[in-house]
Amino acid sequence: MRFQLFRQSDIPEKYRSNFINLYLDIAWFGVLSGTAVNFLNIYATRLGASGLQIGLLTATAAIVNLFLAIPAGHWISKRHTGKAVFWSSVLFRIGYIFWIPLPWFLSDQAQIWALIILTFLMAIPLTPLGVGFNALFAESVPDRFRARVAGTRNVTFSIAYMLTSLIAGYILKNTSFPGGYQIVFAIGAFGAAMSSYHLFHIKPLEDELPPPQAAPIPVSDPSPSAPRGMTAALRLDVWKTRFKNVLIALFIFHFAHYLSNPLYPIFNVRVLNLNDSHLGNGTALYYLSVLLASTQLGRIVHRLGNKKVTGLGVAGMATYPIMLAFAQNVWQFYVLSFIGGFLFALVNGSYANYMLENIPPSDRPSHLAWYTIMFNFAILASSLIGPAIADVIGLVAALVAFGVARIIAGVILLKWG
């Protein structure tokens, strides 16, 4: 197998700086994700958080994103994309610093609610960051290189995530609670700062910027087809285009995907009795598989296309919750982690490019704002509905049902997306 993802010799000089900074940005984001983000739900579970509280750690951010996505899209469209993304990332990632001292000042339950409140506040700058980054990626990476850059970012993220999750697991195993988690959160905060540093150096390319004359029709345009009033402000005209099917398909995918997420830490800690070292090892195996799959992502996408890779990957991701429901020991958890990583790599490396293929270059922020709304509505609904269903039918039955939902989502995306 020829591994050429990091090779730069065949890439024009004017693109290299952007590509390198995109790789370093995601590497440091991998440090953040492998430490602070990866162990947040586990920390909350060990503090005694309920399934609802774990769901709220995700859902509160989704609530903010729902209300701010359209204004964020307008804000991004009127500014230099790179600068807007950088400053949004700085304001968002400052919040990770405040996770570190919580055990010194608050009780266990107070810490859980403080983390929920912090994630809510952090979501305010996260909204323009989420809307803006996809636009920045499109503006800084020519179409012919996007699958390759996305695959390389997957590899880079996987290496960083894998190594730091192992290190975090070792730290947590050998450091008393909650001090180990404070160290892990501090490492994550440093990774967040470095990721923002590299975001600052990603510059939109002149030949990828939308032409000024292709800008959306202003509200004052007398044309009868021009969006007016509230419709113009909310950009409801997006829903009259082919992109509507993409939005609906991706909403169903994200909803099915996130239904089971609040259940994993509860099942892993309270049913499988996994410790922090086990969880760190499982995460490392998961992202080792992501790394291996990502080296072939460009070739697979070239053969099948982004839509088909996304749909098949979404259906395949049903494997994880269904097999986890029947796992009985740590070794089965390890095998499942490795299988799950391969399928995640296919989806994660292709779905954003599938979406970008269906967005007019002249109007990316508004389309991405609507995607952000659908994405966060899916997270909000699934984070609250998933634990509620599990409380009624049990963890095992819920994991199986949510796996079936992923298969249905993949079929819908392939057929109608």
For 15-206+239-416, which CATH superfamily applies?
MFS general substrate transporter like domains (1.20.1250.20)
pLDDT band of residue 225 (cuts 50, 70, 90) is very low
Q: Is residue 206's pLDDT more than 50?
A: yes
Residue with tokens 């590497």: 27
pLDDT band of residue 162 (cuts 50, 70, 90) is confident
Residue with tokens 């950088």: 86
pLDDT above 90 coverage of the chain, percent: 41
Q: What is the pLDDT of residues 54-113, one digit of tens each?
A: 888 877 887 887 788 778 877 888 888 888 999 999 999 999 999 999 999 999 999 999
Least confident among 207-211, 217-221, 230-234, 266-270: 217-221
Residue 207: DSSP 8-state:
G
Are 374 and 382 within 8 A, CB to CB? no
Q: Is residue 403's pLDDT more than 70?
A: yes
Three-state DSSP state, 363: helix
pLDDT at res. 331: 93
What's the mean pLDDT in 183-192?
96
Q: Is residue 409's pLDDT more than 60?
A: yes
Are 349 and 297 within 8 A, CB to CB? yes
Least confident among 227-231, 347-351, 393-397, 405-409: 227-231
What's the mean pLDDT in 320-346?
91
Mean pLDDT of the chain: 85
pLDDT at res. 21: 93
pLDDT band of residue 360 (cuts 50, 70, 90) is confident
Q: Cβ neighbours of residue 410 under 8 Å, at least 6 residues apart? A: 253, 311, 312, 313, 314, 315, 316, 317, 318
pLDDT band of residue 218 (cuts 50, 70, 90) is very low
Question: Domain map of the chain by residue range?
Answer: 15-206+239-416
Alpha helices in 94-145 (DSSP H): 102-105, 108-140
pLDDT band of residue 207 (cuts 50, 70, 90) is low
Sequence-ordered strand ranges (E) for 238-364: none
Q: Is residue 221's pLDDT more than 50?
A: no
pLDDT band of residue 116 (cuts 50, 70, 90) is very high
pLDDT at res. 291: 81
Pair of tokens at residue 349: 């490396």
Burial class (CB in 10 A: 0-12, 13-18, 19+), 227: buried
